[in-house]
Amino acid sequence: MSGSRLAAMATAILWGFTYLLTTDMLPHHPALVAAVRALGGAAFLLAIGWELPPRDWLGRLFILGTLNTGVFFGLFFIGVMRLPGGVAAIFQALGPIAVLLLAWGILRKTPSAMQFLSVAMGVVGVTLVVLRAGVRIDGIGVAAALASTVSLSLGGVLMNRWGRAPIGFAAFTGWQLLVGGVELALVTLLIGDFGGGITVTNVVAFAILAVLLTGIPFLLWFKAISRIGAVNVMPFILLTPVTALVLDAVFKGLIPTAIQLLGVAIVMAALVVNYLASRAAG
């Protein structure tokens, strides 16, 4: 397996920790959490790789930052906080399908039957992993989770269409996070999505979220997209809910059911099929 695929896999696994952190250690203010996540990640990356983007790339960075960070983060945390039982992960699993369709329309890359089969298997597998009986579905949460997935998928496809700015990956990623972070900070102030005291636990969680679960993973994710394409990278996001399942078992004592383990097996099979499909496509 190539280094880019390993980087995408590592990113998806790291993102799996976000669910545990969000539900157990962060304040219940989605806009605030999203803003701090983006701005903290931006500060970390720009501190280690400061470069000014070229003027002709400012518009593109604004669009990419809005899609990959502003819209994605804001709606992601709304979905996670409003949908119980990891249901938001089901909609995240639709990301590979969204990327296939967007790449078909924007990049003129016709998907193969094997690619569609792999992403369909992935959705089924993730559904078995996270969906529990008796879960009530919140309409706003569903809309937010689905829109966040489409936003990240479109951002990835546009990165392939435009390439990356002639600056280092740390700066390229950091500027996108900064754009989205400023947008989210403005939204936080406008809607007043803050209040109550911030605990020491919250501060530690914010630091982990900004650096380990945002700055580093997004740097790896964008590198992988630039090298092997969003179509080959997005399926690895299926590992995020699988990681969340493992963490629930380790830290909360929630032993996976046979159905959930079947779902994990289907997710892994989906990734194998996707890899074979990408090899066949050359």
What are the pLDDT digits (tens) for 240-259? 888 888 888 888 887 888 99
How high is the mean pLDDT of the chain?
A: 90
Residue pair 109/103 in contact (Cβ under 8 Å)? The answer is: yes
Query: What percent of the chain has pLDDT above 70?
Result: 96
Give the pLDDT score at 86.
Answer: 63
Residues 18-30 have a mean pLDDT of 87
Q: What would the two tokens of residue 102 be?
A: 């967007």
Identify the helix (H) or strand (E) that includes residue 222.
helix 216-228
Query: What percent of the chain has pLDDT above 90?
Result: 66
Longest dimension (CA), the chain: 54
Give CA–CA dist 239/225, Å, rounded. 17
Predicted confidence (pLDDT) per residue in 76-128, tens digit: 888 878 876 567 777 778 899 999 999 999 999 898 899 999 999 999 998 88
Predicted confidence (pLDDT) per residue in 141-156, tens digit: 889 988 999 999 999 9
Give the pLDDT score at 79.
Answer: 85
Alpha-carbon Rg for the chain, nearest whole angstrom, is 18
Give the pLDDT score at 85.
Answer: 54
Q: How many CB atoms lie within 10 A of CB 195?
A: 8
Residues 163-191 have a mean pLDDT of 96
Q: What would the two tokens of residue 77 be?
A: 């945390």
Q: Is the pLDDT of residue 270 over 80?
A: yes
Residues 20-29 have a mean pLDDT of 87
Q: Is the pLDDT of residue 199 over 60?
A: yes
Give the pLDDT score at 245.
Answer: 83
- How many Cα atoms sit within 13 Å of 153 on the Cβ side? 28
Give the pLDDT score at 256.
Answer: 84
Predicted confidence (pLDDT) per residue in 220-229, tens digit: 999 999 999 9
Q: Is the pLDDT of residue 269 over 60?
A: yes
How many residues appear in the chain?
Answer: 282
Q: Is the pLDDT of residue 168 over 90?
A: yes
Residues 190-195 have a mean pLDDT of 87
pTM equals: 0.91
